[in-house]
């Protein structure tokens, strides 16, 4: 009789767990969609590419959400790790010069309102693209450390997890990268104040 009541009155335990995980992912999505979109807006001037890469990131995130462990790192760090992989694959694909029609065949074209919004975000990230150009001369780990901590706002600990290095290593690389970047861009406040 209790089995019959459970079948009729309340959802099975697995459905409750599923709806809880769905709500968790929706909350994660809503909280960090702007962060992920900005990540791609700093890397492209094409709103369609930024939208597609953002969508690809969340598709990958939702399919691997079962493996996400909040005790190992934050949701934004986890999402930016996925976004880095998505962008790396995108760059590899572009480098190999795959057939453009095959790549675009399954993508939804964005409408004028979405394009306008994405163009505004891309314009807002223009200074970020300038910084990305200066960062290009840095070693990959240094570049990613600067971007994750100084641009995306992750803590050094979160960035260390996302990059797969220790917190101490990340802090040293971050310090060195900031120093090199100041020298590269000519914005070294320490030298200008102490030179007289």
Q: Can you give the pLDDT at residue 36?
A: 94
What whole-number distance in Å separates Cα of residue 181 and Cα of residue 134? 7
* Secondary structure class of 96 (helix, strand, coil): coil
Each residue's pLDDT tens digit, 73-102? 888 889 999 999 999 999 888 777 655 555
Q: Per residue in 42-62, pLDDT tens? A: 898 889 999 999 999 999 998
Q: How far apart are CA 103 and CA 86, in angstroms?
A: 14
pLDDT at residue 40 in the model: 92
What does residue 109 show for φ and ψ, rounded to 5 degrees? -75, 135
pLDDT, tens digit (0-9, with 9 covering 90-100), for 148-177: 898 888 999 999 988 899 999 999 999 998
* Cα–Cα distance for residue pair 9/93, rounded to 1 Å: 51
CB of 175 closer than 8 Å to CB of 145: no
Residue 134: how many CB atoms within 10 A of its CB? 15
Q: What is the pTM of this model?
A: 0.54
Band (pLDDT 50/70/90 cuts) for residue 139 is: confident
Average pLDDT, integer, range 165-192: 76
Sign of CA dihedral 178, 179, 184, 190: positive
Mean of the per-residue pLDDT values for the chain? 78
């Amino acid at each position: 009789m209790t089995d019959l009541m459970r079948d009729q009155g309340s959802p099975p335990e697995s459905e409750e767990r599923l709806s809880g995980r769905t709500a968790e992912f929706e909350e994660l999505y809503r909280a960090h969609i702007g962060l992920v979109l900005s990540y791609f807006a700093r890397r492209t001037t094409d709103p369609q590419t930024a939208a597609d890469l953002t969508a690809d990131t969340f598709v990958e995130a939702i399919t691997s959400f079962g493996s996400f462990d909040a005790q190992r790192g934050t949701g934004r760090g986890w999402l930016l790790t996925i976004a880095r992989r998505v962008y790396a694959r995108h760059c590899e694909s572009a480098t190999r010069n795959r057939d453009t029609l095959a790549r675009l065949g399954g993508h939804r074209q964005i409408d004028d309102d979405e394009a306008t919004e994405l163009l505004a975000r891309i314009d807002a990230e223009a200074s970020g693209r300038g910084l990305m150009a200066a960062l290009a001369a840095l070693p990959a780990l240094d570049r990613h450390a600067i971007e994750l901590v100084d641009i995306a706002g992750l803590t050094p600990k979160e960035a260390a997890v996302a990059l797969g290095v220790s917190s101490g290593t990340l802090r040293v690389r971050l310090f060195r990268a900031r120093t090199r970047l100041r020298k590269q861009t000519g914005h070294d406040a320490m030298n200008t104040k102490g030179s007289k």
